Structures are given as C-alpha cells and as structure tokens.
Structure 1
C-alpha cells in the first residue's frame, strides 16, 4: 500500500481479485484460521474497502469504482446485504465527487446500472434507494442521447427476468416514456441548431426496448403503444427536416423484420404480435 500513485493502480486490482477468490473459498464456512484470528468474508470485505479507498486517493477513481462494483457483486453472492450496499454507496460517492469527464460518467453509470441489475440480496428499501440514485444520475448526464440511453437502461432495474425477480411493469413504462421525452427533446435541439432533425436511432432503440418487455409479458407495454411508436418513427423518417441516416434506416428495417418474424411464428407469440401492423 506504500506504492504511491505510480504503482497502486497496478498492484491493487490483482490484490482485490486474489482476496475475492479467497472469499469464494471461505463462503459457507465458519472461518479458517489465518494467524490468530479466523478469516471471514466480512473481514476480507472490510480490508478490501480500505484497500480500494487508497486507489481513489491517487487519482484513479474510475478504477476504484469498477473494483467497488466487483466487491458488491461478491458480497451479493455471499448474501451480505449491508456490505454490498456499502460498496454501492462508495461507488456512487466516487461517481458524484471524482468522475468529472462526461464520457467517463456515461461508462461509469452504465457499469453501476449493470451491476445493480444483477443484485438479488437487497431488500425493498435499499434497492429503491440505489435505483432512485441511478435513474436520477441518468437524467443529469451532459448530452441528451446519453441521458436517453441511460434512462432506458434503468428500465431493466425494474424487471429482472428470473424466478424471484422484480417485475414492476409500471416503473418500466415510466422509464421508457421518460426516455422517449428525452429523445424528442434531442430531436428538437438538433432541429434548432442545425436546421434539420437528427437521425431517429434513439427512437428505434426505445422501440426495441418496448419489444423486449412486450415479449417478457409486461402488461403495461401494449401492442397499441408499440404501434404508435412505429408510426411516430415512420413519420419522423419521412419528414423533410430529418437528416437521412442509412444506419437508422437499416436498424428500423431489421426491427420491422423481427416483428414480422414473430407474427408469422404462430402460437402464443404470433398471437401476441398479431395486432401490430408493419
């Protein structure tokens, strides 16, 4: 730990992962004697907390944030809710106080959202606190497209597709509607600054999220909502003010082909997609 700013970014990560390997070995055991005291996952996590903190003090906040999230996932596997929550809290503090570059903020936030999505250890209160922070920071990113993508990524925090997963269809829909409003604002800004609207890629990305949750059985995502979104995108693309974009065109065409494929599938899924006209 005396390596200073030159060495710590290289020596701390392998130390952290070695400690996490030890945590996995000790999982489910009462503790192995190392020296005079038994080694337990809780004690190792406490040591890791102090170790990673040294990284954030030598101008490596992004690396420290990634390591905090790795530790949070390991604590999740050990069913240590308070420890996992502490690591997430530290990750958010680093994000808020040390991560200043807008591109780095986008990457860091998506890492936080992804890690949070995989957590099963949190009770309702702790999970709500962390998801609220994630959605709040998503809407404050510098650029509208980044805001939009982070907000629709947050929709996955409210619909975890496993046996005991969270399925809050209403909050999923709120995230997607918010993302749509941001995408619309991005179009208006593009129109005001360049005299023509930007590409409709954001709308197609949101459409794909609607389709994902529609397939997963979210009752709040209806075929009528998907139909309305397809018509909105088609109108935008046919508008004279919209900048032609081959990538957006190909993306939409691929999405439409997927809907047609699902319609022709037959069975429950074919019936589900039947009312959508493309």
Structure 2
C-alpha cells in the first residue's frame, strides 16, 4: 500500500477537525453524547491523528462548559460540569502521550481557567498540576520553556478560585521554574512577570505586596548578574534593557498603590541605571538609551499632572538621561 502523502494527510485531518465544530445540539445532554461518541471513534484513528482530532473536541466541550456555567446542574445528572471536566481530563491526557506535550499543556491550562470560572477549585488545581508535570517531564527545549512559563503565569493571573494553600503551591512552582530558565534575560523577565500573580485587582483577587517586591528584587539580582557577566565579556549593553524594564515594573506597581514599592526604591533604581549607563564597561546602545529616556519623560509627565498621582511622583527626582 502506498504511503499517504503528508500534505494530503494534514488537509484530511483539518477537514475532520472542522467537522467537529459543526456538531451542534441545543440539548446539552445530546450535545455531550455527540462529543463522547466522536471521541470513541477518533480514538480508533491511531496516535498520529489525535493531535488533529482531539483539540476541536476539547474546545467544543469547553464551549458546553460555558453554556452550563452558572446553572444549577446535579452532579448525578447525565451531563454535569464535573462529568464534562472528567471527559476533558481524559481527552487531554490522551494528547500528552501522542506525543504532543506542548499542545496538551496549553489545553490543560485552558481547562484550568474554565474550571476556575466555574468555581471548581479541586478540578482547576488538578489541571494546573498536570500542566506542571508535563513541563517538568516533557518540555526540554529552552525556547519552549520560556513560552510555556509565560502561559502558566498568565493562567495563574486569571484564576481566582484557589485558596491560600493551593495558590501558594502553584505560584511557588511557577516562580521557581522561571528562575531556572536557561538564559539570564529569560529568567529575569519570567521572574518579574511572576509578580503579577501576587497583585490581582479583580474583586477577591490576591494582593500580596511583599511577594510582588520579592519578585522584583529577585529579577533585579538576575539582571545585575547578567550585567556583571557582560562586563567580563568586554562590555555589552544587552542587560541594561533589563534594568529599565524592571524600573517600568516598579512604576506600574507604584501607581497601583502597592505599599512595599516606595519612591525610595524607584529613586535608587534610577540612580543605579544612570551609573551603569555612564560606566566605561557598558557599551552604548541607542535602543536602551531611547527606552530609558522615554521612561524619564513619562515620570516627568506624571509629576506635572496636578492630581494625586503627581503628588506620589513629587518625591522622585529625575534628570535628563546621559
């Protein structure tokens, strides 16, 4: 038997995937039956086809979750939120063995966010845990690790269902893995991005200024280490952009009213950046200079606003960048 042409195979599977989105029934019970029946048939197609056929099934099931969200449905009923999430877990798990670990991880996170929106903490926690397991065991490429950590941190920012213990466990894992990325710039950016997990402005969201500041200080230490390494290698301006990025994060939280982010810390960071830019060991880079100059102009603009924010900025002294 002749081998199937790869292009024809992909086109065939994409057409089949589109067919899933045409399965529509206003009766939730019947719709769930359609999805489970399709899942049984797709499972017989072999592992090569699953990466194409299972994702649309997962998104169709998530759409059904949104339809049931907020409605009172007995867990013992023929179709329930817990039953759909069980179906989702089994389906994504099948994808993780195709192997399509990156795709499975993304879908675990999608399911976790949906479970959070439904107020199902144990379910959301299980999906997040499975995402971390895949990250630990299957995501080896450094670029894929960076992208994956961005997705994980972003998901944890948008999930509000977790109690203190579960949230601490998940955020601790996220910050830990962020600090272990291969390259220093990636570590730095991932760690300061983690700060957003600890300051959620939505009602009921976590607001932990101490953890925010810890993330920013940790990112600053990583940036400083990167700068020291660049000095050893005869000067580079690359790490300097990290300092300016961190400064902008400090300004963001300062405006949000995080009490631990003070004007004194911002002043110290401004002076550090000016000193480093003037150092003979730092190579000149117009991009970094322009970035820092724009940040200074922003601070100067805020000082002239004539409102409460201007009052906050009044104690920060700035000069024109070198």
How many Å apart are 1:126 and its aligned residue? 0.4
Q: C-alpha distance in 1, partners of 2:99/2:283?
A: 41
Which residue of the other structure, out of 249, 253, 274, is the alignment partner of 1:213?
253
> 2:78 is paired with a residue of what secondary structure?
strand
- Report 1:6-25 matches (<5 A): 6-25=48-67
How many Å apart are 1:37 and its aligned residue? 5.3
The residue aligned with 2:184 is 144
How many Å apart are 1:3 and its aligned residue? 2.9
How many Å apart are 1:7 and its aligned residue? 1.6
The residue aligned with 1:131 is 171
Deviations 1:77-103 (A, max 9, x none): 110000000000000000000000000
How many Å apart are 1:212 and its aligned residue? 0.4
Task: Answer with 1 or 2: which has the greater Rg.
Answer: 2
The residue aligned with 1:3 is 45
> 1:140 is paired with a residue of what secondary structure?
coil
The residue aligned with 1:115 is 155
Q: TM-score with structure 2 length normalisation?
A: 0.83
How many Å apart are 1:29 and its aligned residue? 3.1
Q: C-alpha distance in 1, partners of 2:129/2:234?
A: 43
Do structure 1's residue 195 and structure 2's residue 234 form an aligned pair?
Answer: yes
Residues 234 and 78 of structure 1, relative CA distance in 2, 3 Å threshold: same
Residues 159 and 180 of structure 1, relative CA distance in 2, 3 Å threshold: same
> 2:44 is paired with a residue of what secondary structure?
coil
Structure 1, gaps ≥5 residues long: none
* Structure ranking higher on relative contact order (CA contacts 8 Å, 6+ apart): 1
The residue aligned with 1:55 is 95
The residue aligned with 2:117 is 77
Q: Retained in 2: the 8 A contact 1:207–1:230?
A: yes
Q: C-alpha distance in 1, partners of 2:72/2:199?
A: 35
Deviations 1:238-270 (A, max 9, x none): 111112111111111111111111100011000
**Between Structure 1 and Structure 2, how many residues are aligned?**
275
Do structure 1's residue 265 and structure 2's residue 308 form an aligned pair?
Answer: no
